Structures are given as structure tokens and as C-alpha cells.
Amino acid sequence: MKKRFLLFFTAMMTMLLLAACGTDGSGDTTNGSDSTDKKSVLKVGMEAGYAPFNWSQNDDSNGAVAIKGTKEFAAGYDVEIAKRIADGLDMELQIVKTDWDGLVPSLQSGAIDLVIAGMSPTADRKEAIDFTENYYTSDYVIVVKADGPYADAKSINDFAGAKVTGQQATTHYDVIDQMEGVKKEVAATDFGAMRVQLQSGAIDAYVSERPEGISAELAMNNIKYIIPEPNFEADPSTTAVAVGLKKGSDLTEKINKVLAEISEDDRQKLMEDAIENQPAAQ
């Protein structure tokens, strides 16, 4: 009995020794080398519902990226910027679909690493989170029905009696107070909802920015956007967009270096492509 045990023990030790030799610096794929080569994940939060900056779709066409925990994919201008940032940081991009009101709390809690969602670096937001340099600058527009009573409006003061809204927790909604005589409606949760409200007559107009206005006009043939003259009075930061980061993040300067390498021509081309590729329903 003892002899059999010794033979068994010797055989087991030989097998273990051979296994160890086969994985020691041989270049074969092992759990150790997998963990060494694997890139860190960069979790980016966005609504995936604000075309042409970001939207959801059912496939990976036009460079779309899978949305974590869903069968959907995210595409748009913000996604292209996120891809460039992830490449520049040598990290693996992961898109986390998050409601607008949940973006800043998700960033603060660590559920996401960055907000790349057409978010403006306003003074109020800067108290809660940090921002990179701007990666896009736009201006305010007013979106109306092409055959509606305000289709010929030119100024922010041509909307007396109109029912007007904007997205909640945005400067779009705040600047409505500058429109004389309008009926400021309850803020909407997203732009898709506002387009439906506009088409149904529940509202007469909503405030947005030029890229979204262009998208609305292209997506729906009975909608148009107006660039009011004079336009709304607001801090320039309210029509710029930047990457949001947790306070004190060590990624800020690294991302600024990546953004600095994207020329203005490239940024405009990315936006033109996003507008062209957006789904009709967005």
C-alpha cells in the first residue's frame, strides 16, 4: 500500500513540474499573460438619444459601439470622439447608456469614468465635476413646425403666446425666460419626446442647438429650425460641449492632449457624418 502511494505521489509531482515548465516564459497564452495584455476599460456615459451627438441603433453600422448590458449600439458624434479618446489612452471603450439626470451622479459615484454626451461646461456643473477643453461649439436654435404659426418667426420675441419647452436640467430650458410672452411648458426628458410634442401640437416650439435642429429638420419633413436674430443672451460655455470627469481626475490633461490632435476640419467632418448617418427616427 505504501509503495503504491509513493508511486502515485511521484507521478503527480512529475505532472505538476511539467505543467509549470510549460507556462514559464514560453510565450504560450496563459491566464497571467491574458491579464497583462488586457486593456483597462474606459466607461463613457451618454443618453444615446440626442442625435446627432449620440443615439441608439440595432447594429454596429457606421462605427457604432455596443451599449453595456443591452443588445443596442450607440453611434454619433460623441461616440466618435469617445473612440478617439479611448484609442489615445490605449483603453477599451465601453458605452454606458444613462439618463441625462443620472450622468453627473454616475460620474461622481464611479459608475462611469467620463461623460461624453453633448454636455456644456456651465459654471453650475463645474462646481460638481471637472471638464476638459471644448470639443464642439454650437449656438441656440428654436425648432418649430414648418407649416405652423411660428414658421416665419425671426427673433426670440416673435413667439408671443407660443407654448415652448426645452430639455430638463439644460440651459435650453433656462433661456426660454428671455422669450417675451411665451407659455413655458414643463421641461421634457429628451429630444425625441419634444419632437413628438411638436408634431402633435402639444407645444409650438422647443429650444435646442444647431446640430440637433439640423437633425430634426432632416429626420422629419414637417419640422424646421430657426436661428433667432438676435439670439439668446448666454455665457458662451452654454453652447460649447466638453468631456465631463470626476473632480480631480488624472485623465483631464491626457484627454486634452488627445482632443488637441483633432483638427477643426476633422471635428466638422465628424459632425457632418453624424448628421448624415443618424437614424430617421432620431
For the entire predicted model, the pTM comes to 0.76
Are 168 and 91 in a shared domain?
no
Are 79 and 152 in a shared domain?
no
Are 189 and 260 in a shared domain?
no
pLDDT in tens, 236-275: 899 999 999 999 999 999 999 999 999 999 999 999 999 9
Are 153 and 202 in a shared domain?
yes
Are 165 and 198 in a shared domain?
yes
Residue 190 has pLDDT above 80, yes or no: yes
Are 103 and 151 in a shared domain?
no
Are 263 and 186 in a shared domain?
no
CATH code for position 181: 3.40.190.10
Residue 29 has pLDDT above 50, yes or no: no
Are 124 and 244 in a shared domain?
yes
Q: What pLDDT is attached to residue 219? A: 85
Are 120 and 252 in a shared domain?
yes
Domain that holds residue 75: 40-137+240-277
Residue 31 — pLDDT band, cuts 50, 70, 90?
A: very low
Question: SS in 3 state form for the chain?
Answer: CHHHHHHHHHHHHHHHHHHHHHCCCCCCCCHHHHHHHCCCEEEEEECCEECCCEEEECCCHHHCEEECCCCCEEECHHHHHHHHHHHHHCCEEEEEECCHHHHHHHHHHCCCCEECCCCCCCHHHHCCCEEEEEEEECCEEEEEECCCCCCCCCCCCCCCCCEEECECCCHHHHHHHHCCCCEECCCECCHHHHHHHHHHCCCCEEEEEHHHHHHHHHHCCCEEEECCCCCCCCCHHHHEEEEEECCCCCCHHHHHHHHHCCCHHHHHHHHHHHHHHCCCCC
Are 214 and 167 in a shared domain?
yes
Total domain count, the chain: 2
